[in-house]
Amino acid sequence: MPNSEYVPGLEGIVAAQTEISLVDGANGRLVYRGYVIADLAEDMSFEEVAHLFWHGRLPTRAELDGLAAELSESRNLTDAAATALAAIQSDADPMDVLRSIVSVQGITHRLQKPSLAAAIHATASFPTILAAFHRRRQGLEIVKPRAGLGHAANYLYMLNGQESPPELVRALNTYLVLLADHGMNASTFTARVIASTDSDLASCLVGAIGALKGPAHGGAPSAVLDQLEQIGTPENAERWMRDARKRKERFMGFGHRVYRTYDPRAKILKAMCERLNPKFFALASKVEETALAILHEEHPERPQATNVEFYSAGVLQAIGLPKDLFPPTFAVARVAGWTAHVLEQAAHNRLIRPQSEYIGPEPRKPVPLAERG
């Protein structure tokens, strides 16, 4: 065996080659197929970035129109999905609903290789599933997608039953672009491991949603907002946060493995918060400043560590999303990356099957049931 050392978390182990995104932690850059995220975030639609992931290049006008039309055709729920959705209890975690309905949408009569068409269909359907569930649990009529609206605009339209102001649509679009891919994170890796068995796209996505549901990955939806709420005012930040450290409490929205400088996505989201959510920004920026100062005092060797979750909370709040839709809205973005990774994995496939190290007892004989104490 080339390497039989146990590597906790597989940290530093190269599990795949990819052309989709690069997290350049040392230089604080996130790169999508060669483009630095800051060059894409403000001007590109989510659809253009999805095209970039799937095809390796940005679309021409005609290609973009074609993709928009395909997405539009795929946005409606299948009959099976609508029936299954109606059977799910309305207090379910929206991540569980997404996991279940993506599974229903992906059912087939026989196993199919992951395809671009399936990727488009899945990506189109995530907002529809979430919006339909959110309407239903509020006792409201489900709103069908509207042809002619883009991806971000349609999501808000289906949630609210009316078109949203362009500024908010733009903000959601930027959020979706920023979160669309991020190297070999745990959910993307899950999708690739499942793809490596020659399974289908729905199975990969259902697995990835399950991984994103974990608080260490997709975030505890209310964590950042709850902590800010407890702190209450900017003046209160310093005292509250120093006390919190004495109680060994974590600061929510700080810390990540990769970036050695400020997360480039957090930077863009921070600027958006300042414009769109001034109340949040006034408190959050003070809390951030205090958190970074305290963290620096404790560990001067560690880099500035505001993560994407911190200012995402302010942006998604400004857009009007309820807290429990934050993680599945992350999935609305990341499905573009997941599907691209699955297609990439399927194109150069090899079963991903690491080894385990046995740490149990040496062989011994079992005791028959009647003789067990």
Residues in 71-110 at the binding interface with another protein, rule: CB under 8 A: 79-81, 83-84, 86-89, 91-93, 95-97, 99-100, 103-104, 106-110
Task: Give me the least distance between CB of 175 and another protein, in Å please.
Answer: 19
Q: Which of residues 353-372 bind another protein (CB under 8 A)?
A: 353-370, 372
Contact call for residue 69 and another protein (CB under 8 A)? no
Left if phi > 0, otherwise alpha if psi is -120 to 50, otherwise beta: which for 312?
alpha
For residues 218 and 324, the answer to whether their CB atoms sit within 8 Å is: no
For residues 217 and 211, the answer to whether their CB atoms sit within 8 Å is: yes
User: Which residue of the set 55, 217, 238, 256 is catalytic?
Assistant: 256
Question: Which of 83/233 has CB closer to another protein?
Answer: 83
Q: Which two tokens stand for residue 207?
A: 């697995």
User: Which residue of the set 47, 309, 341, 344 is catalytic?
Assistant: 309
- What is the total count of residues that contact another protein (CB under 8 A)? 116
Annotation marks residue 256 as catalytic = yes
Annotation marks residue 309 as catalytic = yes
The Cα 286–Cα 238 span in angstroms is 9
The Cα 274–Cα 257 span in angstroms is 26
Choice from 8, 139, 148, 300 touching another protein (CB under 8 A) = 8
The Cα 152–Cα 174 span in angstroms is 9
Task: Give me the least distance between CB of 130 and another protein, in Å please.
Answer: 14
Q: Which of residues 179-198 bind another protein (CB under 8 A)?
A: 183-187, 189-190, 193-198
Task: Give me the least distance between CB of 327 and another protein, in Å please.
Answer: 10
For residues 352 and 15, the answer to whether their CB atoms sit within 8 Å is: yes
Question: Which of 165/360 has CB closer to another protein?
Answer: 360
Cα angle, residue 227 at apex, residues 223 and 229 outer, rounded to 5°: 120
Residues forming beta bridges with residue 24, ordered by sequence position: 29
Query: Among residues 16, 20, 217, which one has the least CA distance to residue 119?
Result: 20
Instruction: Give the DSSP letter of residue 24.
Output: E
Q: Which of residues 38-67 bind another protein (CB under 8 A)?
A: 39-40, 43-44, 48, 58-61, 64
Q: Which of residues 209-268 bind another protein (CB under 8 A)?
A: 209-218, 257
Question: Which of 33/75 has CB closer to another protein?
Answer: 33
Residue 242's Cα: distance from chain center in Å? 31
Active-site residue list: 256, 309
